[in-house]
């Protein structure tokens, strides 16, 4: 039995440009730029030196902090620089630059680690940590931390294959072309977490992906396939838990607090590869699309590849783009420097022509209430907006600002074109700054 989460919207999915296009391997560039911050948590510190020879899959950066994830070289070659370089987040961060020798010589640590059956849960967790795996749906939270915090607490493990963001088809193609990796990753999670229920949740607009997974599953299996109603933001963790179990994740809490834990499709595939091949997380599938892109594609790209190189692989731009984004149009981040590299949490690169960018609005609220009706976490976006504009930080806390998942549904539906999500993000930063000043 499926349940319905509150609110939500139905934007055009805009996936036709890439949903039927097989994934193409993008050759790595002449040099890769690896930011020390590719994940939520403490940034890494380089463990290599200038001019050092490195191999594909070799550890190049790590951190002793409780929440972090190591970084590995996606190519073999030589360390060319350790300096500040552009980051997709908009700043310049410490990065390791590796000159690619074109040989892809693997490091000695890259070898099969065993099977799910032969490895103990503790050994599997160490494999996950050493592989630098993070959430591949955009959050980039270190996966070993998420698993460790859920062990012994969760009765339901979910693979989030909803991919509800418009344009993005990376997970869809992964399920069509490598369903065994997705299922294999879920088996790793089942060994680690011992859940009563294991589910792969797919939106109903991806029937071919469901068929692909069904054909790959053995006749007798504990793994369920769930075809969910297509509605944005179905792929948000709390909404997905509600749809599958009927359980409400309380404000300020996580799915683990209602005995559920959710992992992205790409994360599951990375877990499978880490165990069966020993390959750490050095690449991912990326959807490259948008009205300004000459030839939209799904590409398998090594981390550290400059965004400009990825667009070049699709034939470049059919016209100068008015806006370039990493991620989807609802939750993505606008880019101003295309020399910034691809990092672990990026599932899409979009470029839009001028005609697709709405003109600036008058930012007038007409009191229609649509933003309230579509909010999936039952907030009052217009009041968050008004209080942020007036720096009423105590009111923002009372209105549960931190519960906002920044899905963008309110901004999408607003006829007055208020910059609601931008204001909410600004408000969150103001609260963080206030707490920092207070010590």
CA distance to 43, 267, 372, 407, 438, per residue, from 435 (Å): 21, 33, 28, 25, 5
Smallest CA-to-CA distance from 244 within 233, 234, 256, 232 is with 234
Return the pLDDT at 69: 98
* CA nearest neighbour of 132 among 278, 305, 231: 278
For the beta carbon of residue 393, count every other beta carbon within 10 angstroms. Answer: 17
Please name the residue ranges forming H helices in 137-206. 143-150, 170-177, 179-193
CA distances from 369 to 380, 383, 415 (A): 9, 11, 10
C-alpha closest to that of 389 among 419, 432, 434, 433: 419
Query: For 329-346, how does the pLDDT look when each residue is reduced to its tens digit (9 = 90+)?
Result: 999 999 999 999 999 999
User: Please, what is the end-to-end C-alpha distance for the chain in angstroms?
Assistant: 47
**Mind giving me the DSSP string for 36-97?**
S--SSSSPPEE-S-TT-EE-BT-EEEE--SSS---EE-SS-EEEEEEEEEE-TTSSEEEEEE
pLDDT exceeds 70 at position 87 = yes
Q: Which residue has the higher pLDDT, 284 or 361?
A: 284
pLDDT of residue 289: 98
Q: In whole numbers, what is the pLDDT of the chain averaged over residues? A: 96
Phi and psi for 27 in degrees, rounded to 5? -60, 140
Question: Of the ranges 143-152, 304-313, 351-360, which one carries the lowest mean pLDDT score?
Answer: 351-360
- Whether the per-residue pLDDT at 1 is higher than 90: the answer is no
In CATH, the number for domain 121-276 is 3.40.50.11540
- The residue ranges of DSSP E strands in 180-315, in sequence order, are 197-203, 223-228, 260-264, 283-289, 297-302
What whole-number distance in Å separates Cα of residue 176 and Cα of residue 269?
13
Helix (H) or strand (E) holding 25: strand 23-25
- pLDDT value at residue 219: 83
Share of the chain above pLDDT 70, in %: 99
**Alpha carbon distance 276, 99 (integer Å):** 28
Residue 378 has a pLDDT of: 94
Neighbouring-strand partners of residue 362: none
For the entire predicted model, the pTM comes to 0.95
pLDDT of residue 321: 96
Check: CB of residue 413 under 8 Å from CB of residue 9: yes
Judge whether residue 106 has pLDDT over 90. yes
Residue ranges per domain, the chain? 121-276, 370-438
The pair phi, psi for residue 341, each rounded to 5°, is -95, 165
């Amino acid at each position: 039995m499926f349940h319905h989460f509150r609110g939500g919207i139905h934007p055009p999915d805009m996936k036709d440009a890439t949903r039927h296009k097989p994934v193409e391997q993008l050759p790595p560039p002449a040099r890769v730029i690896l930011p020390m911050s590719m994940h939520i948590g403490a940034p890494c510190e380089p463990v290599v030196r200038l001019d050092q020879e490195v191999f594909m899959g070799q550890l190049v950066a790590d951190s002793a902090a409780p929440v972090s994830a190591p970084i590995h070289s996606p190519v073999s070659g030589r360390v060319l620089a350790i300096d500040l370089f552009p980051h997709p987040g908009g700043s310049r961060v410490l990065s390791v630059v590796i000159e690619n020798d074109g040989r892809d010589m693997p490091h000695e640590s890259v070898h099969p680690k065993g099977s799910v059956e032969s490895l103990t849960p503790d050994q599997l967790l160490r494999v996950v940590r050493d592989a630098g795996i993070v959430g591949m749906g955009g959050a980039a939270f270190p996966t070993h931390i998420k698993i460790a915090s859920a062990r012994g607490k969760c009765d339901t493990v979910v693979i989030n294959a909803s991919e509800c963001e418009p344009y993005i088809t990376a997970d869809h193609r992964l399920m069509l072309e490598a369903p065994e990796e997705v299922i294999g990753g879920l088996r790793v999670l089942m060994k680690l977490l011992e859940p009563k229920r294991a589910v792969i949740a797919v939106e109903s607009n991806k029937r071919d992906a469901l068929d692909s997974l069904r054909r790959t599953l053995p006749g007798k299996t504990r793994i369920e396939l769930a075809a969910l109603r297509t509605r944005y933001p179905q792929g948000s963790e709390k909404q997905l838990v509600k749809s599958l179990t009927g359980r409400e994740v309380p404000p300020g809490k996580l799915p683990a607090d209602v005995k559920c834990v959710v992992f992205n499709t790409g994360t599951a595939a990375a877990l499978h590869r880490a165990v069966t091949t020993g390959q750490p997380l050095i690449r991912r599938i990326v959807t490259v699309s948008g009205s300004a892109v000459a030839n939209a594609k799904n590409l398998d790209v090594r981390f550290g590849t400059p965004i400009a190189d990825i667009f070049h692989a699709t034939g470049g731009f059919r016209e100068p783009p008015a806006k370039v984004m990493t991620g989807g149009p609802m939750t993505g981040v606008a880019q101003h420097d295309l020399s910034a590299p691809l990092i672990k949490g990026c599932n899409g690169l979009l470029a839009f022509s001028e005609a697709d960018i709405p003109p600036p609005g008058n930012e007038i609220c007409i009191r229609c209430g649509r933003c309230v009706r579509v909010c999936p976490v039952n907030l009052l976006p217009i009041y968050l907006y008004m209080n942020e504009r007036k720096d009423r930080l105590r009111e923002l806390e009372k209105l549960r600002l931190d519960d906002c998942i920044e899905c963008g549904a309110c901004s999408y539906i607003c006829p007055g074109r208020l910059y609601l999500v931008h204001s909410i993000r600004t408000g969150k930063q103001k609260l963080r700054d206030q707490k920092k000043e207070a010590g």
